[in-house]
Amino acid sequence: MRAVVQRVHWARVRVADRVVGEIDRGVLVLLGIHRDDSLEIASWIAHKIAGLRIFPNEHGRFDRSVADVRGSVLVVSQFTLYGDARRGFRPSFSDAAPPDKAEPLYEHVVNQLRTRHALHTEMGIFGADMEVESCNWGPVTIIIEKESGFPHVEESRTSSS
């Protein structure tokens, strides 16, 4: 799973000239689902998004999460994050999960942000042709990625001690 996380002053997504998701200060997340992704990976990504410290403290240092600043999250599905353009000029999307697998994982990330992390979370419409607008604050853009088989952060800490 791949998430491009942008700290924003505001962001919104439109479908057919209608705003379907909109936030003020917070993070815009473009979320790509890999064909091998699982609920476990989706939960991990949601946890990382919620805890990512990319908001400034009183000294201007990245030390606060979206929850710490009472910000919001806008999650937009984007299968093109798994576009492979290493050969030729037309990207291959064979690593992207098919819609019937990707949509439940996308919804799981959103539900985890809403319930487990108590964040105000908006979303686009899965599979729709969307227009995404935002005002990137900084700009600050971070890529979070987790592939199937990678150990959890907690497992890594215990194995290195």
Residue 79 appears among annotated catalytic residues:
yes
- Residues 22 and 12: beta-carbon distance below 8 Å: yes
Q: What is the SS3 string spanning 54-90?
A: CEECCCCCEEECCCCCCCEEEEEECHHHHCECCCCCC
Give the number of domains in the chain: 1
Tell me the mean pLDDT in the region 70-84: 97
pLDDT of residue 150: 54
Q: Exactly one of 79, 115, 121, 150 is catalytic; which is it?
A: 79
pLDDT of residue 148: 66
Q: What is the distance, to the nearest Å, from the Cα of residue 108 to the centroid of all Cα atoms in its chain?
A: 12
Tell me the mean pLDDT in the region 122-144: 97
Residue 6 appears among annotated catalytic residues:
no
Tell me which residue range forms the domain holding 57: 2-160
Q: In the chain, count H helices and then E strands.
A: 3, 8
Q: Exactly one of 6, 55, 78, 121 is catalytic; which is it?
A: 78
Beta-bridged to residue 14, according to DSSP, are 19, 131
Give 157's pLDDT tier (boundaries 50, 70, 90). very low
CB proximity list for 68: less than 8 A, separation 6 or greater? 53, 55
pLDDT of residue 151: 52
pLDDT of residue 147: 76
Question: Rounded to the nearest 5°, which phi and psi values hold at 58?
Answer: -65, -15
Give 158's pLDDT tier (boundaries 50, 70, 90). very low
Give 63's pLDDT tier (boundaries 50, 70, 90). very high
Residue 141 in this model has a pLDDT that exceeds 50: yes
Q: Exactly one of 6, 55, 62, 80 is catalytic; which is it?
A: 80
Residue 78 appears among annotated catalytic residues:
yes
pLDDT of residue 161: 35
Helix runs in 17-148, H state only: 39-51, 99-115
> Which CATH number is 80's domain given?
3.50.80.10
